[in-house]
Amino acid sequence: MELNRGGVRVPRIVIGIFILTACGARQDATPAPSRSPAKGEPGDLVYISNEDSRNLTVIDARGDSVIATIGVGMRPRGVKVSPDGKRVYVALSGSPKCPPTMPDEECEKLKTDRSQDGIAVVDAISRKLVAVFPAGSDPETFDVSADGRRLFVSNEDAGTATIVDLISGRTIATAKVGREPEGVTLSPDGKTFWVTGETDHDITASDAASGEAIARIATQGKRPRAIGFLPDGSKAYVSNEASGTVSVIAPSSRHVRRVIVLPDGARPMGIAVAPDGGRVYVSTGRGGTVIVIDPNSDSVIAAVRVGRRPWGVGLTRDGGKLYTANGPGNDVTVIDTKTMKVVRTLAAGSSPWGIALGRRPR
């Protein structure tokens, strides 16, 4: 995140530590062999939100090729796919994009257009924007319930989280969370949703049914960004950008069990957990790498160099490939998680921010 200062809207037109040198090439250079989808699976689609070009880049994970670009609206950042793959949701914001070097008072002078805030709804079959749901002020990231009926959204400038009913498109609850909320992740049992507070250096755990806050957890690290749970719910991992660390939290006690110090230069941002819970992947922003953590020992076991300032990170459903959104490079890095080697670099839109993967709709 750069520092930023009721009804359905119709669409607008619309990773001993070792470093592996990136060996990918752009899409039009040496192609990498494609990974065949598992029997009976049609393969995943990868959706990249491009903050500056106001669109989504769609990648076919079977051959790692760009197959579509979809206009969505102003400053798309957080992005998720519905469980059935038929809808793609994107957080839009009318707040100005302010770099970290810009003083707060200067950012506050820039134009804000709250009418541009919302959650864009994209039909994954037609690849068209079909609606924009209200979701509070300056929505940044969110998570989707397992049944596909609710969104849990962070409202960065308001210090709140909203719950959106995806059937009606209406906001059904708004809850106070930490200041500058960003990362939002539902617990594996779906009973609580956790939101990072960048300025308060904490996490707010809230009841998923009512939105009521039930715990505040100090992360013991500065500027927490993202949260990733092991599939069995035994641990949660939190990236602390300003501290260069990852906090390991026991959800049952809601206490920090360990703080993992990452290699020098790491600015941890996004988190992705392997489907089998065997690895935790962390993008490091200006560190330019993806860090791999072994959750059995809670130690760093590998790092792979990717593109410039990787932010969003996502895995295929089988855990075989990992994708990073590299903002200033306007590209996406593809990593084979078995070898932890870069197999391709794909051009995206301007300032790719978020990544979501989902099943191909049918």
User: Looking at residues 328-342, what average pLDDT do you find?
Assistant: 97
Secondary structure class of 30 (helix, strand, coil): coil
* Strands across the sheet containing 202-207: 181-186, 192-197, 202-207, 213-218
Q: Domain-by-domain residue ranges, the chain?
A: 19-33+43-359
At residue 10, does pLDDT exceed 50?
Answer: no
Q: Are the beta carbons of 229 and 205 closer than 8 angstroms?
A: no
43: left (phi over 0), alpha (psi -120 to 50) or beta: left
pLDDT tens profile 274-320:
999 999 999 999 999 999 999 999 999 999 999 999 999 999 999 99
Neighbouring residues of 161: CB distance < 8 A, sequence distance ≥ 6: 136, 152, 153, 154, 155, 174, 175, 177, 181, 184, 193, 195, 204, 206, 211
Looking at residue 3, what is its pLDDT?
38
Fold designation for 19-33+43-359? Methylamine Dehydrogenase; Chain H (2.130.10)
What dihedral do alpha carbons 174, 175, 179, 183 form, nearest 10°? -80
Q: How confident is the model at residue 109 (pLDDT cuts 50, 70, 90)?
A: confident
Count each helix (H run) and each strand (E run) in the chain, helices first.
1, 29
DSSP one-letter string for 324-358? EEEGGGTEEEEEETTTTEEEEEEE-SSSEEEEEEE
Q: How confident is the model at residue 19 (pLDDT cuts 50, 70, 90)?
A: very low
Neighbouring residues of 205: CB distance < 8 A, sequence distance ≥ 6: 187, 192, 193, 194, 213, 214, 215, 216, 217, 254
Q: How far, in whole angstroms, is CA 68 from its chain's centroid?
A: 20
At residue 21, does pLDDT exceed 50?
Answer: no
pLDDT tens profile 47-78:
999 999 999 999 999 999 999 999 999 999 99
Q: What is the pTM of this model?
A: 0.88
Using the 8-state DSSP alphabet, how is residue 4 labeled? Answer: -
At residue 1, does pLDDT exceed 50?
Answer: no
The residue with greater pLDDT, 233 or 106, is 233
Q: Which sign, positive or negative, has the C-alpha torsion 345, 350, 354, 357?
A: negative
Looking at residue 12, what is its pLDDT?
38
List the structure tokens of 4.
């930023």
User: Looking at residues 88-103, what average pLDDT do you find?
Assistant: 86
What gap in Å lies between CA 33 and CA 63, rounded to an integer? 7
What gap in Å lies between CA 22 and CA 321, rounded to an integer? 15
Neighbouring residues of 164: CB distance < 8 A, sequence distance ≥ 6: 119, 133, 134, 135, 150, 151, 152, 153, 170, 171, 172
Mean pLDDT score across all residues of the chain: 89
Q: Which of 208, 211, 153, 209 is nearest to 182 (CA)?
A: 153
